[in-house]
Amino acid sequence: MRLKATKRGAHAIGCTRGQASMEALTLLGFVVLFFVPLALLFFATSQNRTDEAAIMQARLAGRQIADNAGEVYLQGTGARRETLVNFPSNLLDVQINGTQIVFMLSSAKGRTDIVTQSFAPLMDGKGADGNNSLHSMQTAAGKINSGNRKIVFSTVQKNASSIVVEISHG
């Protein structure tokens, strides 16, 4: 009889080890189920914050360009100004359309256009070789490098009665 009791005791110890392993795996499963959605939520929120920061930076850059263009326009023919403008990291292109400055950004939701209005008539500074336009700041990858860029504003006599502000990068 004593032999049977020993076998049962050994069997009980083996079951206890198996039960402890199952409990540990179950606990690990609950931890993973809890932290994976939290990590996904964190990364989604941080991407939204990054996009919001880039949009605000593009609005600020657009307002800075529009205000400087307006001041140069009011000074009349021959006026010129240079300023540093900080461009966001996900900027795809900048276009000048009449009195509008359009920043095209890539975001988590796709392309986002930020439009800033100026009262001054604007012209993208093509120059003789076309290398000074804001559009020409694009790299071969189709993006504009982020950071500070020197932007040059100068008035140009378009015809006898109209002045246009030419905007180019330096």
The whole-angstrom separation of Cα 24 and Cα 133 is 63
The whole-angstrom separation of Cα 149 and Cα 6 is 83
Residue 86: both structure tokens together: 């900080």
Mean per-residue pLDDT, 5-21: 62
Closest listed residue to residue 97, CA positions, set 73, 123, 120, 79: 123
First to last CA, the chain: 98
pLDDT in tens, 24-67: 899 999 888 888 888 888 777 776 778 888 899 999 999 999 99
pLDDT in tens, 86-105: 988 888 888 888 899 999 99
- pTM greater than 0.85 (yes/no): no
Bridge partners (DSSP) of residue 86 are 148
| Cβ-based neighbour number of residue 74 at 10 Å | 13
Closest listed residue to residue 150, CA positions, set 57, 79, 83, 81: 83
Q: Are 134 and 125 in contact (CB under 8 A)?
A: yes
Mean per-residue pLDDT, 110-129: 84
